[in-house]
Every structure is written in C-alpha cells, then in structure tokens.
Amino acid sequence: MAELSDQMKDQLARHFMEAIPHARSLGMALTLIENGVAETTMPYDKKLIGDPSTGVIHGGAVSALMDTCCGAAVMSHPDSPLGTATIDLRIDYMRPATAGQALLAHAECYHVTRSIAFVRATAYDEDRSRPVATVTGAFTVERPPNDAKADPAGGQA
C-alpha cells in the first residue's frame, strides 16, 4: 500500500480510536478529526473519582483523555504517520473538573517533522470559558519504510 488518501487516514484514525481498549473502557468518543485537529469526549463516571470528598475525577483520567486526543490529532495530520506513540506529555491543571460533568478535549497537532509531531490540547467541562487542563506533548511519527520524507502536499488524490 502506497499513499493513503486523507479520507482513508481519517477512517484509520477513527477505527484506531475504537480499537483502543483503554479508550473504550473509559467511554471515550471521537467527535471531530480533521487535518491535525481532534476532539474527544469522556463521560463522567464514579469509577474515575480521585477525591472521594468532592467527587472530582482523578487527574490521571484527564491525562488519559488528553493523550488519546493528542494521538488522534497526530494521526489525522495531513503530513503524517501510520502510527504514533507518546514521547513526552506535560499536563497543567487549571482547576478541578466539575463533578458529574463530561469532559471534552480539543487537540491540535501544530507541527510535524520527519520523526516528531508537536501537539497541544485543552480540556473543558460544560463551562467552555474556563479550561480544566492544558497539555503540550511530543509524539513519534512512524512512517512506511521507503517514505522519502512526507511530501507536504500529502500525496496524490
């Protein structure tokens, strides 16, 4: 198989998402994926609580959502890969997510080199004016064996 069309890559990313056992276990859903931008939602669930006195979900669950969303953004980048893995992920927690509310992560893969993809993401609960957390990450870019540097045009149609 040679060049993948954008549509095929989007489809691949979508399938990939659904095939991730941990994402499935947390009830994550991909709500947007195009050109290096992805959005992923995760419903509130009592099993994710990190502070029993408030019902606020654990930061680790927010990280899992963000990592998944960032990976999807990398996969959907026009200049990018067949596969990806996290190299580095840094998360900043702005405030606790409101107990009982679903989370939405929005990730943007803003730069891709031959071997690295750079991503940032933001997580929200129902209040979209005040982010819950932000992330910056670096991801690997896995290319097919004789891919002479991803040509920026994204290949023929």
Task: From 141, 133, 140, select the one nearest 63 (Cα to Cα).
Answer: 133
Question: Cβ closer to other proteins: 36 or 137?
Answer: 137
Shortest reach from residue 92's CB to other proteins, in Å: 5
- Rounded to an integer, what is the distance from CA 20 to the centroid of its chain? 12
Residue type, 149: K
Sign of the CA dihedral running 79, 85, 87, 92:
positive
- Token pair of 139 as six digits: 């991801």
What is the C-alpha to C-alpha distance for residues 132 and 115, in angstroms, rounded to an integer?
30
Our CB check for other proteins shows the closer of 47 and 129 to be 47
What's the closest the beta carbon of residue 24 comes to other proteins, in angstroms? 8
Residue nearer to other proteins on the CB measure, 25 or 31? 25
Q: Which one, 22 or 114, has the nearer CB to other proteins?
A: 22
**What residues line the site for other proteins (CB under 8 A)?**
19-25, 46-53, 57-61, 63-68, 71, 85-93, 96
